[in-house]
Chains A and B, each alone.
Chain A
């Protein structure tokens, strides 16, 4: 009973807060008119009223003065931390789960329906060079680091739900600690790989009208026609630009996260970088899964392009007819037409 009475007193006291608002904590941002009319303030909610008022006036950035050297500590409260919490715990997991899970489902379904896309004319036994050593180095540098970065990154997003129950806390922390170190250091070779690919391949990846026709014809994956393509077809250009732009965005946001509050100095900026890094990386993983599928079990003969660098002539004719013509016509002794690359030069 006494507890009830004290509760009631608490409610009464809370009602007094309404008066307290204007008297006690009129912030600097309040307009003079509002400051002079405390009676016109809405009745007080029963808790933390002034905190809420300050958020409204200062747009949630309740900053003051501190006497310690760490000036970031001057940010008293940032309620948007709760939004960040919700994003990491719920939103990002849904985005990643749908993107990656959905892509895997699509690929499995596609393989079951379409199967491996064969070279229709069969292997010719003759090969031509598609990617030289530097190109394959740039590709595999990016690919190998991307795989490790992807696995250690997925561990940060999903490891707690999927691996922690299996591994136990100590083992999971040890693995995550090494994963974090690997993630930090491998960001540099990854970025180098992306830059190399950009420089090497940008000239062959400028979009043009043929790409639209290629997409309209289903790109050889749907149906059996092989739309003519130059060195890179529309789908490959999509992968190229996603790798360059998406990879670039992951690199930029990642370096912001690695050097906290150095390039970006605000809490909002750091939160945004972390969120963008997560979203873009998960979408990239989903896209690269499709790229890996097409380049391995999806299309017969495709892996050789990045494996040995030499592809079968019939594969090249079926998938990159225009490119083959350019290479062949620019063969030994003959002068290359403008814009064509020499056989063996790429």
Chain B
């Protein structure tokens, strides 16, 4: 079985933000919520790198571990999904997530959060595949159609790779071998611990 991961080759990312836009469009993500973002570190200085970051679909996912209502589940492909019917918007997953993936619509009084929203790896939610109910809550389910997440598919420089972890790590390793340098697989150590291969 495939173990789906993201890998951002920061030596290729040109900060065009097409992944962010494609994600918002494909999944009709509400205003104020970003399932994916591009962060530029060392902006304007030597060693500037842009990294496209979303949910990394961690092994032993911190969000799932701290959720007081146990609304997360991991699919057979290693994709971490959650149920908006069960989420109570407590916000603990945002504090536990190493990648800032969980997002909340702001609702009602105080800082009350609505149901959490995050990257689904374009794999929808617990509802039946590609139903209107699933789309309304979670967005597209491209994985069920045999397609990869739209962010990686759209990437103009193929900096953002999505697919089985072993395969994309191998693609990245080949690139590093060929060009002689590489900035590493961002977030893999934190997300997958010892399971990093790239």
Which A residues form the contact surface with B (CB < 8 A)?
Answer: 6-7, 9-10, 12-14, 16-17, 19-20, 23-28, 46-52, 54, 62-70, 72-82, 84-85, 88-89, 155-157, 159-160, 164, 169-170, 172-173, 176-177, 180, 184, 257-262, 267, 270-271, 274
Specify which of B37, B86, B99 is in contact with A68 (CB 8 Å cutoff).
B37
Q: How far is the CA of A13 from the CA of B180 in the complex (A)?
A: 8
The answer to whether residues A155 and B68 also contact, given A10-B170, A16-B176 and a CB cut-off of 8 A, is yes
30 A-B interface contacts by CB (under 8 A): A16-B176, A20-B180, A24-B47, A24-B182, A26-B46, A27-B47, A28-B46, A47-B198, A48-B188, A48-B189, A62-B41, A69-B32, A73-B34, A73-B37, A76-B41, A76-B186, A77-B98, A77-B99, A77-B190, A81-B97, A81-B98, A84-B66, A85-B96, A157-B68, A169-B71, A170-B85, A173-B71, A176-B88, A184-B112, A259-B110
Specify which of B41, B97, B198 is in contact with A10 (CB 8 Å cutoff).
B198
The answer to whether residues A271 and B95 also contact, given A170-B86, A259-B111 and a CB cut-off of 8 A, is yes
Specify which of A24, A164, A260 is in contact with B11 (CB 8 Å cutoff).
A24
CB distance from A16 to the nearest CB of B (A): 6
CB distance from B161 to the nearest CB of A (A): 14
The answer to whether residues A88 and B70 also contact, given A9-B173, A23-B181 and a CB cut-off of 8 A, is no
B125 located at the interface, meaning its Cβ lies under 8 Å from any Cβ of chain A in the complex: no
For B169, what are the chain A residues with a Cβ–Cβ distance below 8 Å? 10
Q: Is the pair B91, A16 in contact by a Cβ cutoff of 8 Å?
A: no
Q: Mark B30-56, 1 if CB is under 8 A from A, else 0.
A: 001010011111110111010101000
Q: Is the pair A173, B85 in contact by a Cβ cutoff of 8 Å?
A: yes
Q: Is the pair B95, A274 in contact by a Cβ cutoff of 8 Å?
A: yes
In the A-B complex, the 6 residue pairs with the closest CB atoms: A47-B196, A13-B173, A20-B181, A85-B62, A64-B41, A48-B189
Q: Is the pair B88, A50 in contact by a Cβ cutoff of 8 Å?
A: no
For A72, what are the chain B residues with a Cβ–Cβ distance below 8 Å? 100
Q: Is the pair A88, B196 in contact by a Cβ cutoff of 8 Å?
A: no
The answer to whether residues A24 and B90 also contact, given A6-B170, A9-B177 and a CB cut-off of 8 A, is no
Closest to A178 in B: B88
Q: How far is the CA of A259 from the CA of B113 in the complex (A)?
A: 10
B92 located at the interface, meaning its Cβ lies under 8 Å from any Cβ of chain A in the complex: yes
9 more A-B contacts (CB under 8 A) besides A17-B182, A67-B17? A76-B51, A77-B53, A79-B190, A85-B96, A88-B66, A156-B90, A164-B70, A173-B88, A176-B68
Which B residues form the contact surface with A (CB < 8 A)?
Answer: 10-11, 17, 20, 32, 34, 37-43, 45-47, 49, 51, 53, 62, 65-71, 83, 85-92, 95-100, 109-113, 169-170, 172-174, 176-177, 180-190, 196-198
The answer to whether residues A184 and B110 also contact, given A88-B66, A164-B69 and a CB cut-off of 8 A, is yes
Closest to A72 in B: B100
Q: Is the pair B95, A51 in contact by a Cβ cutoff of 8 Å?
A: no
Q: How far is the CA of A257 from the CA of B182 in the complex (A)?
A: 40
For A50, what are the chain B residues with a Cβ–Cβ distance below 8 Å? 183-184
CB distance from B89 to the nearest CB of A (A): 8
Q: How far is the CA of A66 from the CA of B41 in the complex (A)?
A: 9
CB distance from B151 to the nearest CB of A (A): 15
Q: How far is the CA of A262 from the CA of B91 in the complex (A)?
A: 14
Closest to A92 in B: B66
The answer to whether residues A51 and B197 also contact, given A78-B98, A81-B96 and a CB cut-off of 8 A, is no
The answer to whether residues A63 and B177 also contact, given A47-B197, A68-B20 and a CB cut-off of 8 A, is no
Closest to A44 in B: B184
Q: How far is the CA of A160 from the CA of B70 in the complex (A)?
A: 7
For B86, what are the chain A residues with a Cβ–Cβ distance below 8 Å? 169-170, 173
For A267, what are the chain B residues with a Cβ–Cβ distance below 8 Å? 95
Q: How far is the CA of A157 from the CA of B92 in the complex (A)?
A: 11
Q: How far is the CA of A23 from the CA of B46 in the complex (A)?
A: 10
Specify which of A7, A13, A73 is in contact with B182 (CB 8 Å cutoff).
A13
For B38, what are the chain A residues with a Cβ–Cβ distance below 8 Å? 66-67
